[in-house]
Chain A
Amino acid sequence: MAEVSLVSVSKAFGSDVALSDVSLTVPDGAFVVLLGPTGAGKTTTLRLISGLERPDSGDITIDGRPVIDETPAERNVAMVFQQYSLYPHMTVRENLAFPLRSPILRTPEDEIARKVAEVAEVLRIAQKLDNRATALSGGEMQRVSIGRALVRNPSIYLMDEPLSSLDAKLRAELRVELKRIQANLGATLLYVTHDQIEAMTMATHVGVLDRGRLVQFGTPREIYENPVSLYVAGRLGLPRINTLPAGLFAGAPSSAATIGLRPEHIVQGGGKSATVVRLEHLGDQTRLHLRFQDHDIVTLTDVHSTLEPGETVAIEPKNPLYFDADGNRIPGGNGP
């Protein structure tokens, strides 16, 4: 495995700027997740590293070696796409072995057999090795396509929303699985998603992209607790952070335009009154929808709360986040 760096990389497609002056280091053995909405530049970043695209300016290094002039094969990266593309006429075993049979690698057959068996075990598809690829469920097919990346020993694994086409239950299982595999193999992984749960639970580092710019890079906890901007604060957290005019509550710094309140920043039982709009029972949590001086607030409350719509609840902020008129975080003693 290897460290991968982007230095001041920019890429435009015609007049559309996909990436603008992005510098980013994926440390050896790290699980880096790039988070952002559609069009933020996530997939372009992966394609630049893999060599499917060439940057307009800037440098890309793998293990300290500049790779811009190398072909995708020379870079030795493994890519997993959102849509699993398996060879339908081959069995699972043949699909998994295929990358190892590449003429460049010239892997001995016993080594191939050992690798395939090992990966099949890790991904829990060992009993399906002799099935046709087309005779698998969606989740199994995606595991095989991940397996096809794992059998190799690349510098880095690049994954583009590999779980997004799976149903919720399976996605949750594979999240834990992927994290475990990465930790066990000590693999370096760059993973693209717009699913914040995937980002928070799997990543050692999260990079947040906003229209082609890398706006923050840090551990999931840093990004969640110490966002640099309103934009970043809105990327993580369910229910989403509530944003209100800063003047609604006392104690805001003078330069603050917006106060950001996550559920844990709202104390119930004291302060100003808000009206209950409705309760949303999600089982493990109950979301409380409030109307507060012409603004909507969503927070959490006791799972078995007996509040009824129309009742009032007093709320006050505790260690909230403040942002200026441009949406930048105002640093100060209010952070966690």
Chain B
Amino acid sequence: MAEIVVRNLRKEFGDFTAVQSSSFRIEDGEFFMLLGPSGCGKTTTLRMIAGLELPTSGEITIDGEDVSRKPASERDIAFVFQMFALYPHMNVRQNISYPLISQGMKRPQVREKVAEVAGILGITDLLERPVGGLSGGDRQRVALGRAIVRNPKAFMMDEPLGALDAEFREHMAEELRALHDRMGATTVYVTHDQLEAMQMGDKIVVMNHGVIEQFGAPQDIYDKPATRFVADFIGSPSMNFLRLHSRLDTGADSVQLDHQEVGIPVMREPFDGDVVFGVRPEHVRLSDISGYRAEIRATEYLGTTQIVTLATANGELKARIPSDQVVRAGETVGLSFDARTITLFDNQTGRALRSELNEGVLAHG
């Protein structure tokens, strides 16, 4: 198993810079997510770690050994692609055995390894079946089996669930995570689906335009976004952004929203200019006593909770509230915000302002 360290990694394709200068550390046994919209450089980063692309500059070490210039075959890494490529003329057993046989492993040993892997994946009954007739999920399991059987140092996965439908994706995500918990192998996983990243990852790197926006534990990234991009990309519905002009001193613990005093975490830096007040939908409450008024535009029922769309003096805002709370479109209500959870952003750069809430995360982010 392996610890992977990436330092100042850069990749250019002609004039286009796919990855600017990435640095992060993947601990041994971690399930590590590279998250971002298409074109952000996440797949390029993964391919450089696997050795399928060579970096323009920078360094990649696996267990302390510099592998930046080594070919993929010398890195002892297994790659699982979005489109699971199986050998169609072989049965399940032959497909899983193939990497071992091509390494020259003895037959009885191969049988033993394949039996073990099939047991882990729950496909023992399928071993003698041709791969042609398998369901999508079973094909995916066979593809995983072929990756696992070699006992590689680490797994690289490029949107392995991207081609599956929603219900089944959820199921496979759980299965993959449970598999990882049993095997404890370092896994680097690329996705554009923020929920998948939150659900499965121990750590997440959020990328945008080739730059790492934030790196950390899922809940930290959700609660303490370092940039407005991260705040917007993670969470559904996204964080609400209300624009205002403010002059804040270090130690300030409130801002003026439409002439109402609204609490914020204690500021750790001064700021003067256009700020964006960021609040997650679940931290907005409907409160009759609050002087900050809004009109209810629409409600979306979600079972346990409902999403309420509101029009405020500072723009549109969404609140997630329990679905047994009765609200009607057209009504005017007061809003209150959970002050401890607010993040302020510099409107110009999108950078989060340092406060009591996020100083710990931003310091090493």
Contacts and interface: CB of A to CB of B under 8 A. Distances in A.
Interface string B165-176: 111000000000
A324 B15 CA distance: 66
Nearest to A304: B219
A195 B199 CA distance: 19
Interface in A187-203: 194-195, 197, 200-201
Contact of B303 (A236, A280, A283, A303): A236
A200 B303 contact: yes
B280 interface: yes
Contacts of A304: 219
B165 A194 contact: yes
A220 B301 contact: yes
Interface residues of A, number: 33
A282 to B, nearest CB: 5
B280 A221 contact: no
B194 A168 contact: yes
B222 interface: yes
Given A200-B302, A236-B303, A262-B304, A284 B282 contact: yes
A284 B320 contact: yes
Contacts of A238: 303
A263 B303 CA distance: 10
B235 interface: yes
Contacts of A237: 303-304
Contacts of B51: none
Nearest to A203: B301
Nearest to B235: A283
Contacts of A201: 300-302, 307
A281 B38 CA distance: 24
Given A168-B194, A200-B303, A221-B301, A283 B218 contact: yes
Interface in A233-252: 236-238
A262 B195 contact: no
A284 B280 contact: yes
A167 interface: yes
B234 to A, nearest CB: 6
A172 B304 contact: no
A248 B261 CA distance: 51
Contacts of B234: 283
Contacts of A282: 195, 198-199
Contacts of B304: 237, 262-264, 300
B237 interface: yes
Interface of B: 37-38, 165-167, 181, 192-195, 198-199, 218-219, 222-223, 233-237, 280-282, 298, 300-304, 307, 309, 320, 323
8 contacts: A176-B309, A197-B302, A201-B307, A224-B301, A262-B303, A281-B219, A283-B280, A284-B280
